Amino acid sequence: MTQSPARASTSPASLTRNGLFHLLRPDALAFVAAHVEVRPLKAGDSIYEDDQPVTHAVFPLSGMISFLARMEDGRTVEKGNVGPEGFIGVTTMLERGVMHGRCVAQIAGEAAWLPAAIFDEAIERFVCVRRMLLRYGKARIEQLHELIVCTALHTAERRVTRWLLEASDKAGCAAFELKQEVLAELLGLRRATVSGACHDLMSKGLIRYSRGRIEIIDRPRMETEACECYAHIRGRFSYPPLI
C-alpha cells in the first residue's frame, strides 16, 4: 500500500466534502475527525493490493479510486470506482478481512484514512454511523447492478462519456489528468475505440484533450451524450439527510 505523507489534521467541517461524513451527527463527526489522517491522492498510487489486510477505511474527499480485477491473461479492468460519495472498505468493515483486487488512485485528490479499529468503535457507538454504512452499502450494490446493465447494453462511446462525467464529478472540477490508454484498460476497450470516442467528443466541442489532460467544456451537452446510467448512478449517491 502506497502511503503518501499525511497532511495536518482537518476540521470536522472539512471532512464533509465526502458525502457520507456529511450524514453524520456532530458528535460522531467530531469523533471521526479526531482519528483520521488526510493524505494526498496521486494518480497511480496503490491504496490496497490484492489480498492485503484492510487496516483503514479510506474516504476520498476529492479524486477517484478504481477497484481493479486482473485476468489470467494479464489484462486489467475496472470493477467499479469510488470518490467523495463513498469509501473503500465497506465489505471488509462488515467482517474484517482482506481486499479482493487492487485499489488504485486514477484521479488526483485527497482522502481521509480512518483506522479500521476506530471505524468499528464508531459503528458500535453511533447509530448514525451504522445507518450511514447501510445506506452506502445499498447505493453501492445498486451502482454495481447499473454498471452490469451499462456494459451489456450501451455502446463504447456512451460508456466513455459516462466515465468521463463521473471522473469530473469525483475530481470536483472540469479538468483532470487521464491518459486514453488508461481509460481503455479500465473499460476493457481497445485503445483505438477510446481514441475515436474522445475525438468525436472533441469534434462536437464537448471536451478538450491534450497531452493526457481532459477538460469538459460543455457539460449539459456532454450529459446528453452519455447513457442514462450516468444519471441513474449519480442519483443513487444523492443521500437525503438521516432522520
- 91 DSSP 8-state letter: H
Same domain flag for 165 and 197: yes
Cβ–Cβ under 8 Å, residues 11 and 48:
no
Same domain flag for 120 and 33: yes
Give pLDDT, residue 243: 59
Nearest-angstrom CA–CA distance, 180 and 186: 10
- Residue 77: inside a domain: yes
- Residue 4: inside a domain: no
Give pLDDT, residue 237: 86
- Residue 60: inside a domain: yes
**In total, how many domains does the chain have?**
2
Cβ–Cβ under 8 Å, residues 66 and 91:
no
- Residue 233: inside a domain: no
- Residue 57: inside a domain: yes
146: its cell numbers: 447499473
- Residue 148: inside a domain: no
Residue ranges making up the domain that contains 75: 12-138
Same domain flag for 118 and 166: no
Q: If you average pLDDT over residues 84-93, what whole number do you get?
A: 82
Same domain flag for 21 and 115: yes
Quote the pTM value: 0.89
Q: Is the pLDDT of residue 206 over 50?
A: yes
Give pLDDT, residue 191: 93
pLDDT band (50, 70, 90) for residue 8:
very low
Burial class of residue 206 (count of CB atoms within 10 Å of its CB; 0-12, 13-18, 19+): buried
- Residue 23: inside a domain: yes
Give pLDDT, residue 71: 84
CATH code for the domain in which residue 106 is found: 2.60.120.10
* Angle, CA 32 vertex, CA 28 and CA 37 arms, to 5°: 165
Q: Among the listed ranges 1-5, 24-28, 147-151, which one has the minimum average pLDDT value?
A: 1-5
Mean pLDDT of the chain: 89
CATH code for the domain in which residue 180 is found: 1.10.10.10
pLDDT band (50, 70, 90) for residue 3:
low
